[in-house]
Amino acid sequence: MNVSARIDAVYAQVLRRNPGETEFHQAVGEVLHTLAPVLRAHPDYVDTRIVERLCEPERQIIFRVPWVDDRGEVHVNRGFRVEFSSALGPYKGGLRFHPSVNLGIVKFLGFEQIFKNALTGLAIGGGKGGADFDPKGRSTGEVMRFCQSFMTELYRHLGEHTDVPAGDIGVGSREIGYLFGQYKRVTNRYEAGVLTGKGVSWGGSHARTEATGYGTVYFVQEMLTARGLHLDGRRVVVSGSGNVALYAIEKIHALGGHVVACSDSSGYLVDERGIDVTLLKEIKEVRRERISAYAEARPTASFSARGSVFDVPCDIALPCATQNELDEQSAIALVKNSVVAVAEGANMPCTPAAINVLREAGVLFGPGKAANAGGVATSALEMRQNASRHQWTFQQTETQLADVMRNIHAQCRATAEAYDAPENYVLGANATGFLRAAEAMDAQGLV
Ligand code: NDP
Ligand code: 2IT
């Protein structure tokens, strides 16, 4: 069987074995699609079924999460942790609390995490978890009780050398605090390295909160520089207004760019004077309100409940909200408005058709596995600080984050060129991540 036929067979098996998990199919399809030249150069990886093994999680955990709301009513949610690959280190990846969470979503995220984490060059395997819990409108007490119940089951699967969760959609430093407190209580251990994204006063790393958004902007800067372009004075559109989006906006402004629009799940806002990050943080992180409150507070801003934030003309677009938010139609609109670069702050925010449109138009495209790897890389730096019971300064940590992003960019570029596909960062990221994980799997035997 030739390599292409083998890849087709692996994909067909993934579809058969994981019915209805459309996001997982999409994530696997995208990676397999780029691996043919890599496998032709490494026929031994075909013989030892490395790709088949990577598509099958090492372990999948699904559990009941019962909790009581403020009125005394009982709720039952479903919790997940998919431990995908421990080839390069303990399972590592965030927890997502959102009503849309299901096994297929967690598997797509866990699968991508293998390659992203490998790309950082740090010793972390891939995993992901979460629950179909909706934190919107819930009191702090309800969120705490949910986190405690979630951890009461999950703790037995975790450990600083086993599986190390962090945040993702709906899970920020507040939730990590409650999860850590419950882990500590049920295990009677102050095991700082079991979770990342902790508060900086109790084992967290400086710059972890900022890392994903900042890292995405560093990646964009590297792509632009490689083409002889720069960020200064560029119009930028960012989707979302959560952790990743907020710090992407902050860093774009610090480097001379001009962010004119952002969004949340209720719609998008345009502020030609430039998004005021302090106000946006106050509304989204402290008051936990909708972005329309921003438009009410700033006369220069307007809010729209309909349409897409990517219809706003820009030089650079950073999708930083959720999967499949930037579709073919949005990509066509961006190209029509002469977009220069698109980088994925979120995981899989661009549909395959959108990526085709962008790449065919010559737009610089930074895939999430590379462009948003700064968050998990800084989590690995947090684990390193926890292991040595030491804390670096903000600047020391940010310098290392910038180095990691520069290296990721250089490696993606070099790999793409080696496979005769210059500027193809999708191939560069997938092939580099795959080769790192594959080499370790090969050395560790059939496990
Ligand atoms: P947050 O929960 O902090 O923010 C999510 C943002 O996206 C909010 O503005 C939210 O709007 C919006 N959003 C979420 N789901 C939807 C949806 N279904 N439709 C429209 N808008 C939506 O999450 P993060 O910023 O942490 O995560 C954003 C993305 O980045 C995710 O894809 C995540 O996997 C990825 N990522 C996160 C990392 C991290 O370190 N946190 C690291 C790498 C990637 P609303 O407020 O209305 O819900
Ligand atoms: O998608 C991601 O990389 C994250 N949500 C961060 C994972 C982590 O372990 O820091």
Give the tens place of pLDDT for each residue, 137-187: 999 999 999 999 999 999 999 999 999 999 999 999 999 999 999 999 999
Residue 140, both tokens: 């702090």
- Give the pLDDT confidence score for residue 30 in this predicted structure: 97
Task: Report the C-alpha gap between 384 and 399 in whole angstroms.
Answer: 15
For ligand 2, mutation pick of 379, 381, 382 (most atoms within 8 Å of CB): 379
Q: Which of 92, 107, 116, 128 is catalytic?
A: 128
Ligand nearest to the CA of residue 175, numbered in listed order: 1
Alpha-carbon gap, residue 317 to 220, rounded angstroms: 10
Convert the pLDDT of each residue in 178-223 to its tens digit.
999 999 999 999 999 999 999 999 999 999 999 999 999 999 999 9
Of the candidates 446, 440, 439, 417, the one whose C-alpha atom is nearest the C-alpha of residue 37 is: 417
**Res 57: pLDDT:** 98
Residues with CB under 6 A from ligand 1: 100, 167-170, 212, 240-245, 264-266, 320-322, 345-347, 372, 375
The pair phi, psi for residue 192, each rounded to 5°, is: -55, -35
**This model's pTM is above 0.85:** yes
pLDDT of residue 217: 98
**DSSP assignment string, 276-337:** -HHHHHIIIIIS---THHHHHH-TTEEEESSS-GGGS--SEEEE-S-TT-B-HHHHHHHHHT
pLDDT in tens, 99-140: 999 999 999 999 999 999 999 999 999 999 999 999 999 999
d(CA 287, CA 438): 45
Question: Is 251 an active-site residue?
Answer: no
Delimit the CATH 3.40.50.10860 region(s) of the chain. 3-191
CATH architecture of the domain formed by 3-191: 3-Layer(aba) Sandwich (3.40)
Pick the CATH number of 209-366 from 3.40.50.720, 1.10.10.10, 3.90.220.20, 2.30.33.40: 3.40.50.720
CATH 3.40.50.720 in the chain, residue ranges: 209-366
- Ligand 1 mean position, distance from CA 264 (Å): 9
How does pLDDT run across 6-45, given as a tens digit for each residue? Answer: 999 999 999 999 999 999 999 999 999 999 999 999 999 9
